[in-house]
Amino acid sequence: MNYYKRHLGDYAKKAGRLSMLQHGAFNLLIDSCYDREQFPTMEEALDWVWASNSEEEDAVKFVLKKFFVLKNGVYIQNRIKEELDIYHEKAEINKRIAWEREEKKKAAKSNREPISYEAFIKQQRSVNEPLENMQEWQPNHKPVTSNHKPVTNNQEPNINIKKPSSSVTKENSDKPKKYKFTDNDKKVANYIHNKVLVINPSMKTPNIECWSNTIRLMRESDKRSYDDIYQVFSWANHDDFWHTNILSPSKLRKQFDVLNVKMKSIMNGNLTKPPWSILPKENDESLKTFALKHGLQKPLPGNSWYEYRGRLQKEINQRLNTQ
């Protein structure tokens, strides 16, 4: 989830007596649960909030004990769970609407009846299920044994007992798969897909196998861990500029180093802003002078001071993100 409703009265009533450190731990845990759409174990909770000393760890443990319920080793917050369930239900509806719209277009182009969404989901599940019970291929004849009579020159060979050509067998066995990936690669690809659907519900259904293969390449060739991939994508997905630009694993892989540097700079407080990125807080004339000096856009006729300031800030953010 990219956002959630914060009920100030309810929070103050239930958590008003927490210390500042405990408030910080509680809010970071809430944000992490909504962002990841899952709940943590104790170890994950400490990692999610970046607890770095015993006091911070104690604050996290206190909050988990006070406001979360432990089930099967996972700390669950009931209100967050209810809102996540509602969110997933709405996301599934949006996904279905978008898929049906695209399917109607494809069916019209190819002059066929559109496939129902239920049939599509059933087909996807059957494709993804592991072939656990598949038996090894066996020829439909009994092998020739020493008890059989030898084939003579006056007899036509029984073609039904010939084994498949070795060249054909080798060709089939050596044929490489188009994509390679693990189950975890596919989970990350599906996670990115679900996040992108929130931003663009009408996007065409991607090739998840291709996306999963890209995740594998990021791990094996680029030496990125799953945690690195998740953190950088999650940051980009919440950034004002990058959330509309990083819409696939291939885009993430291409911009990974840039995104990683910007994310760490902001998180560590090391991002120094150039003079042209700090807007003056005075009147309309100071904004015009500032924009003229730094080559920013001019005001449009009828723009209020707030509208013009907002447009300038958006242009500045775009410049900062493309540096």
Strand partners, 71: 74
Mean pLDDT calculated for residue range 218-230: 91
Decide if pLDDT at 32 tops 80: yes
Bridge partner list, 69: 76
Closest CA to 66 of 29, 37, 35: 29
- The reported pLDDT for the residue numbered 284 is 56
Between 123 and 168, whose confidence is greater? 123
DSSP track, 271-297:
-PPPGGGS---S-HHHHHHHHHHTTPP
Helix (H) or strand (E) holding 256: helix 256-267
What CA–CA distance (Å, rounded) separates 115 from 65?
Answer: 49
Burial of residue 214 (number of CB atoms within 10 Å: 0-12, 13-18, 19+): buried
DSSP 244: G
Phi/psi-derived region of residue 37, left when phi > 0, alpha when psi is between -120 and 50, beta in every other case: left
Quote the mean pLDDT of the chain: 78
CA 264 to chain centre: 20
Q: Give this prediction's pTM.
A: 0.40
| DSSP collapsed to 3 states, 132-160 | CCCCCCCCCCCCCCCCCCCCCCCCCCCHH
What pLDDT, on the 0 to 100 scale, is given for residue 52?
87
| Distance separating alpha carbons of residues 178 and 221, to the nearest angstrom | 17
Read off the pLDDT band of 43 (50, 70, 90).
Answer: very high
Lowest mean pLDDT among 10-14, 238-242, 286-290: 286-290
The pLDDT value recorded for residue 321 is: 63
* DSSP symbols for 75-121: EE-HHHHHHHHHHHHHHHHHHHHHHHHHHHHHHHHTTSPPPPHHHHH
Residue 69, SS3?
strand
For a pLDDT cut of 90, what percent of the chain falls above it? Answer: 32
Which residue, chain included where needed, has tokens 């196998």? 209
Contacts of 229 (CB under 8 A, 6+ apart): 188, 215, 218, 219, 252
pLDDT in tens, 112-164: 888 887 887 777 666 555 444 444 334 444 444 545 555 454 554 454 544 44
Confidence of residue 66 (pLDDT cuts 50, 70, 90): very high
Q: Could you tell me if 103 and 69 are in contact, meaning their C-beta atoms sit under 8 angstroms apart?
A: no
Residue 223 backbone zone (phi > 0: left; psi -120 to 50: alpha; other: beta): left
Q: How far apart are alpha carbons 39 and 100 in whole angstroms?
A: 32
Q: Supply the pLDDT for residue 138.
A: 41
At residue 202, does pLDDT exceed 70? yes
| Interval 196-219 mean pLDDT | 90
Assess whether pLDDT exceeds 50 at residue 242.
Answer: yes
pLDDT tens sequence across 268-311: 665 556 665 666 655 556 777 777 777 777 777 776 766 777 77
